[in-house]
Amino acid sequence: MNIIDGGVTAPIGFSATGLRAGIKPGKKNRDMALVVSEVPATVAGTFTLNVVKAAPVLWDKLIVEKQETARAIIINSGVANACTGEIGYENAKTMAANVAMKLDVDKNQVLVASTGVIGKQLPMEVIYHGIEELVPKLTSTREGAALAAEAILTTDTKKKEIAVEIEIDGKKVTIGAMCKGSGMIHPNMGTMLGFITTDISISKDLLVELLKADIEDTFNMVSVDGDTSTNDSVLILANGLAGNTTIETKNKDYDIFLEALHEVNEFLAKAIAADGEGCTRLLETQVIHAPSKDVAKVLAKSITTSNLTKCAVYGKDANWGRILCAMGYAGVDFDPYKVDICIKSNCGEIKLVENGMATDYDEEMATNILSPEKVIILADIKAGEAEAVAWGCDLTYEYIKINADYRS
């Protein structure tokens, strides 16, 4: 597998672009993007588990469940089109229909995604104008992918893109992806907005199963602030233009593709955590030697989502009691007097806890280890062979500032 410079236009047959339509305040921020496959692409998706689902989520769920294929994804940032009632749903459908008309395809071939402020209706005249400008600017170039990746951002500070190449059935297969996510990120689906394109040929059933399974170990293991969004969606389009024999069983080709997709999803998951609103450090939590994968995941998530632990990481404070406490209220059984806790970074590694009790560690060394941009907490519970990893970030004053002023 080769990681290449690219995004959603890297696979054969995909074009994209992004521009400023005028949804967001200001004069420069891009706020609409369009991704198109030149042929019908097998479609799969995962969506928020929040009971309050945005209008585009309801539309996309219907398309993914009822249709084998899709041709396009239209995305806007600035307004979430959530909690907008029947008008909001009709607006989502109208967005799809408008794009479909411009591309000369059926509206049921167009997926819709929105992100931004909840409760506001979309400015449809602005949306129509944006679509009018997007279609003729579609391009299969690297720039097209970058423009789309920029246009979907809200409080993010950077674009999040990746592309990889693999060989399947003697053919080069490419996966490209972009995502956005900085706040309102909590594991319960496939967090934030993520868009994956690939030129592989694979059956609908396997693509759906494969995406859902991998989301559990990647996007669903990310938390920035404990809030599950109304708009969370991860969508994948596979147009088959690589020319490989269609994957219809879980064979060697399936395993190769799954490994590559996992690489893509894990990269994006980490990028979201590292770009958490106001954050200064990426926090990776590793739980090892658990009795089951489920127990390991619950413990890793509990540590990562603990506000006290996140504050300690921000303060470079090796307050291991907060880590063990977060494990204790996670709702799974383990023996606290078997637990070892270490912290690691590119500045070194130190064991804070052995068999549930403090070691004679050096506080200054611990502070140095907690200083770089990526910090790892390792919890060994010595009860089996299962393990899991979760990603999050520290909790800072800047996070409060951003979210206290979000609608301004």
Q: What is the DSSP string of 25-36?
A: SSSS---EEEEE
> What residues have CB less than 8 Å from 343, skipping those under 6 apart?
318, 349, 350, 352, 366, 369, 370, 375, 376, 377, 378
CB 373 within 8 A of CB 365: no
Which of 18-32, 158-172, 354-368 is least confident? 18-32
DSSP percent split of the chain into helix, strand, coil, nearest 5: 35, 30, 35
CB 268 within 8 A of CB 230: no
Which amino acid type is present at position 135?
A: V
pTM score: 0.86
DSSP state of 227: P
Q: Average pLDDT in the 305-328 region?
A: 94
CATH 3.10.150.10 holds for 282-404: no
Residue 162 has pLDDT above 70, yes or no: yes
Mean pLDDT computed over every residue of the chain: 92
Tell me how far apart the alpha carbons of residues 41 and 236 are, in angstroms, rounded to a whole number.
Answer: 9
Dihedral sign for Cα atoms in the order 132, 137, 142, 147: negative
The 10s digit of each residue's pLDDT in 216-264 is 888 888 875 444 556 688 999 999 999 999 999 999 999 999 999 999 9
Percent of the chain with pLDDT over 90: 79
Catalytic residue among 17, 84, 191, 309: 191
Tell me how far apart the alpha carbons of residues 52 and 31 are, in angstroms, rounded to a whole number.
Answer: 24
Six-digit token string for 66 = 């009822």
Question: What stretch(es) of the chain map to CATH 3.10.20.340?
Answer: 282-404
Look up tokens 């389009």; give the residue: 237
Is position 191 annotated as part of the catalytic site? yes
**CATH homologous superfamily, domain 2-274:** L-amino peptidase D-ALA esterase/amidase (3.60.70.12)
CB 264 within 8 A of CB 162: yes
Question: What stretch(es) of the chain map to CATH 3.60.70.12?
Answer: 2-274
